[in-house]
Structure 1
Amino acid sequence: MDFIQNEIKEIKKLLLALNIQQKEILTIEDASQYLGLSTSRLYKMTSNKEIPHYKPGGKKIYLKRLEIDQWITNSRVSTDDDCALDMDNYLSKPLEN
């Protein structure tokens, strides 16, 4: 019986994730699931204007899934190889007079 209950919970999680993937506009709760962050962390991030969001009427907070994706991909951290390549490119530039 425990096995079946665990399987049902897992199916519910997958269905919720699929539902969120299909939405364009997310609530804080949806975005929390999507990003794997707590709702309190997201509230703090919106309060600090760290993540793009909307507050129609000044109350409930909404986020666009595509803007969240862009926010994530714009936060890329360069690898050591990227930095080494940038340094090599910089050092190989001819000197300008």
Structure 2
Amino acid sequence: MRPEVQTFVADGPLSDWGASEEEIDRRERQLTAISRPVTSEEAAALATCFGPDDCYGVAWTLVHLIETDPGAVPQLKDPGPEAGDWAQVLWSRWGGEHPAA
């Protein structure tokens, strides 16, 4: 795994809407430092970094980065009902299906 990805993942999940402008800018810079495409291993690691909301759009940047993996990370399992909304968004975009609630 490339150092840029390791750095982003090591900083943990994205903050929520209460994050400072500096924190949001820092995480955005970290994401833009990761060249595309990402590997399946990197995509799987990045998929663990979603926070509770869209972090002022940074979560969408993360989704789009993960989706540059040519393999579309099919080996990831259904995140389950306890997972956050962003894990569900990503799973659905990968073609996962969920039973009706």
How high is the TM-score relative to the length of structure 1?
0.29
In our comparison, the structure showing a higher alpha carbon Rg is: 1
Q: Which has the higher helix share?
A: 1
More contact order relative to length (CA 8 Å, sep ≥ 6):
2
TM-score by length of 2: 0.28
Q: Which has more strand, going by share of residues?
A: 1
